[in-house]
Chain A
Amino acid sequence: MKTALQQVFHSRKFVTGFAIFMAILLTVFLYPLIIQDEPLAILGQGNFFPPGIYVNIYDSIHSKSYVLNLKDAASKRIGKILTDQSRQDIKEWLVSYGVPEDQIDINDTESLLSQWEENYDSSISLPGMTFAKQRYFQRLDESVNGLLSSEGVVISEVNQETGNLDQTNTIDQSEYVHINEVANVRILPLGTDNFGRDVLTELVKATGVSLKIGLIAGVVATLIGLTLGLLSGYVGGLVDDIIMFVTNLFTVIPSFVLLILISFSIGQDNRGATTIAVVIGLTSWVWTARAVRSQVISLRNRDHVNLSKLSGHSTAHIILNDILPYIASYVVMALILQVSSAILSEASLSILGLGPRTTEVPTLGLMMNWAMIYQAHILGKWWAYFPVIVVIALITFSMNLMNTGLDQVFNPTLRD
């Protein structure tokens, strides 16, 4: 046993897979200790905030200010709003309004903006322009408004007694705050999802739940497969015939279809994460049963088993002591594969809308489902779905690596 373990940990593939898997597992356990948010708390009002650092505007106004005279500050400020695209759009509007094309120089910011201010009127609707485009130009006008001014911004508060606005502060264009001195800064490394929830926190929780689903399903499938495989392989005869008949039936009937039918029949209200896990386990034991059976058949007539039989040991004793230890490595490998394929099954099922129906916990599949329903992929909100795909791929990748590593240790012919 000890040497086997040593050998396993000498396999580079196994170690790589194991390291990735442990890293995922550690994150799942440690992350909630550091960031103690509710995984499904709705933080953002609105959907799909991009990843990044969010600084509270109210707090930064009241923070201590530092004056930094940076010479490209103004051009950066202009460049952020007047991108090449919006310059083109302004030109397009001006041309269709009637300004001669050769008079417009989109690289000369000042003259372009003055032409814009001179001519643009939000009430004018140009022929052939869609409503959406009109709204776009209205928004553009608002953002361009006052872009070139070098004045500061006045902060004022409502005086509770008189109801007038009292000027409390002015903010110069060259004022800065130190991010550490702002009371409320929130880092959203993966932004928010369609409901405005922090994707990273949700993802970590979902990974945990999905791993749990995988584990439950894997254990259920392996137990059923192991029991049936042992029975049919060791007992043989009629029992073997019956079990093999059932196994062969379930091999060809796609388990995916069974999953759909069963989850649909269970009904929405009863589909918890655990229920789905058990259902997945119930539909995926076939491969384990087949593999265990063929292993047991090759073991059944070995000398040590026969010796055990002659010594009058009971069947249970023989199976536990003379057969199980020999197929243990095989069963562990099968379990690993079952876990990873169960995680995939849950995800596929959720995309179909038949996944766990819960509002308390997310799963990887449900996150994917939400992202797809809200068209995150079409809208270019990569943070809502891409990390989920990567996590699923990493989990199955690490498990398959561990499996191949084990396979190479226990089946020397496969070693490279």
Chain B
Amino acid sequence: MKKYRNYFVNKLFWLLITTIFAFILNFTLPRLMPGDPVAAIMARIAQGMSNSTGMKEVYEQYAKLFGTNQPILEQFFLYIKNVFHGNFGTSFSQYPRPVSDIIRSSILWTVCLQFPAIIIGWLIGNMLGALAAYVKKGYDKVLMPVSIFVSNIPAFGMAVILLVIFGVYLRWFPTSGGYGFDLIPNASWKFIWSVIVHYQLPFWSIVLTTIGGQAIGMRSMSIYELNADYVKYSRFMGVKDKQIVGYVFRNAMLPQVTGLALSIGTMVGGALVAEIIFSYPGLGYTLLNGIMGQDYPLISAVTLIITVMVLLANFLIEIIYGLIDPRVKAAQSE
């Protein structure tokens, strides 16, 4: 148990460091812009804003929020303090709505869409990949080229194709939004049904793009394991095929779990773009709005939230990995 605790503490420590680093990046990158960041931001939005009192207020608020006249270290602590109070400032493009409010209304959509989709896509992909490696003939020949090609369709391309086929031509599912445009979020069945219907296309487009890559990875891992010495030895020993497949699957799974942890950031990035195609009211769409509206506080907050979410997911996967990895498990029982 002590070993696992060490592992856990180690990972927790690493989570802490990466989070701090994410904060630092989020803080410094925009400040690399030449000149006074507040002035630069204001110069950008000045083109689109006609409300001069609003602008002045925003300027003063940001000068205060950024604390541009203070030393850089103090600015950083001010920034951290603000973030932990959930104070991301006021949105430029949706003035006077606070950024935290916008984020709060969109984060749940993203979490409920992306994480189930990625997990299910990962599971299906792994099963297909293992099957392809084991069955090999026919199945492998037909399915592999198809899934290799499918996995090369970018996430946004898959989203557009699904949208056009099922949304525009077949009209089975709505093409945009998270729920019917004529509804107000409430707990009625009509609203829930509308949410479910709107959920399908974004969900399956993320699942489909995830499947391809995972299947290919799992297939080569399984082939690699099937040729390993322990498999050959077990065969000589007359161990049943079914049991061997069980071992192989488990051993091939482990790198796939680590693979998921390492690639989750990329997947989330792709899924965010898929969200945009479907105008799904999640973080991706919010980010797009922020970029379109040159809304610096919104972009900064969304990217920070996404990073922290990815780091947390990563941490969770690694904790689970520690529980199922026989090496860590063996160390625990010592």
B105 to chain A, nearest CB (A): 20
A384 to chain B, nearest CB (A): 11
Q: A256 contacts B266, CB within 8 Å?
A: yes
Which residues in window 245-296 of B have CB below 8 A to A? 262, 265-266, 268-270, 272-273, 276-277, 287-288, 291-292, 296
Q: B266 contacts A254, CB within 8 Å?
A: yes
Q: Nearest chain-B residue to A249 (Cβ)?
A: B21
Q: B21 contacts A253, CB within 8 Å?
A: yes
Q: B273 contacts A352, CB within 8 Å?
A: yes
Q: Nearest chain-B residue to A398 (Cβ)?
A: B152
B54 at the interface (CB under 8 A from A): no
A401 to chain B, nearest CB (A): 7
B169 cross-chain contacts in A, Cβ below 8 A: 380
Over the window 384-416 of chain A, the binary record of Cβ atoms lying under 8 Å from chain B Cβ atoms (1 yes, 0 no) is 011001001100110011001000000001101
B157 cross-chain contacts in A, Cβ below 8 A: 389, 392-393
A258 to B164, CA, bound (A): 31
Interface residues on B, range: 35 or more
Q: B148 contacts A265, CB within 8 Å?
A: no
Q: B152 contacts A393, CB within 8 Å?
A: yes
Which of A111-119, A221-229, A343-351 interfaces with chain B?
Answer: A343-351
A226 to B110, CA, bound (A): 36
A251 at the interface (CB under 8 A from B): yes
Which of B122-130, B187-195, B299-307 interfaces with chain A?
Answer: B299-307
A137 at the interface (CB under 8 A from B): no
A35 at the interface (CB under 8 A from B): no
Q: Nearest chain-B residue to A266 (Cβ)?
A: B33
Which of B23-31, B56-64, B77-85 interfaces with chain A?
Answer: B23-31
A163 at the interface (CB under 8 A from B): no
A353 cross-chain contacts in B, Cβ below 8 A: 288, 291-292
Interface residues on A, range: 35 or more
Which residues in window 329-351 of A have CB below 8 A to B? 344, 347-348, 351
B34 to chain A, nearest CB (A): 9
Also in contact, A267 and B30, with CB within 8 A (given A254-B269, A261-B25, A377-B168): no
Over the window 3-26 of chain B, the binary record of Cβ atoms lying under 8 Å from chain A Cβ atoms (1 yes, 0 no) is 000000000001001100110011
Q: A347 contacts B156, CB within 8 Å?
A: yes
Q: B136 contacts A416, CB within 8 Å?
A: yes
B310 cross-chain contacts in A, Cβ below 8 A: 252-254, 257
Q: B152 contacts A400, CB within 8 Å?
A: yes
B314 cross-chain contacts in A, Cβ below 8 A: 252
Q: Nearest chain-A residue to B273 (Cβ)?
A: A348
Q: Nearest chain-A residue to B270 (Cβ)?
A: A348
Also in contact, A414 and B303, with CB within 8 A (given A253-B22, A353-B292, A397-B149): no
B311 cross-chain contacts in A, Cβ below 8 A: 252-253
Q: A265 contacts B29, CB within 8 Å?
A: yes
Q: B148 contacts A401, CB within 8 Å?
A: yes
Q: B149 contacts A260, CB within 8 Å?
A: no
Q: Nearest chain-A residue to B225 (Cβ)?
A: A413
B55 at the interface (CB under 8 A from A): no
Q: Nearest chain-B residue to A341 (Cβ)?
A: B266
Q: B25 contacts A253, CB within 8 Å?
A: yes
B223 cross-chain contacts in A, Cβ below 8 A: 413-414, 416
Over the window 251-275 of chain A, the binary record of Cβ atoms lying under 8 Å from chain B Cβ atoms (1 yes, 0 no) is 1111111101110110100000000
A176 at the interface (CB under 8 A from B): no
Q: A400 contacts B270, CB within 8 Å?
A: no
B175 at the interface (CB under 8 A from A): yes
Q: A397 contacts B273, CB within 8 Å?
A: no
What would be 13 A-B contacts, judged by CB atoms less than 8 Å apart? A248-B14, A249-B21, A252-B314, A256-B272, A261-B299, A348-B156, A351-B276, A352-B288, A377-B160, A380-B168, A382-B164, A392-B153, A404-B148
Q: Please report B residues at the A interface, Cβ cutoff 8 Å.
A: 14, 17-18, 21-22, 25-26, 29-30, 32-33, 136, 140, 148-149, 152-157, 160-161, 163-164, 168-169, 175, 220, 223-224, 227, 262, 265-266, 268-270, 272-273, 276-277, 287-288, 291-292, 296, 299-300, 303, 306-307, 310-311, 314
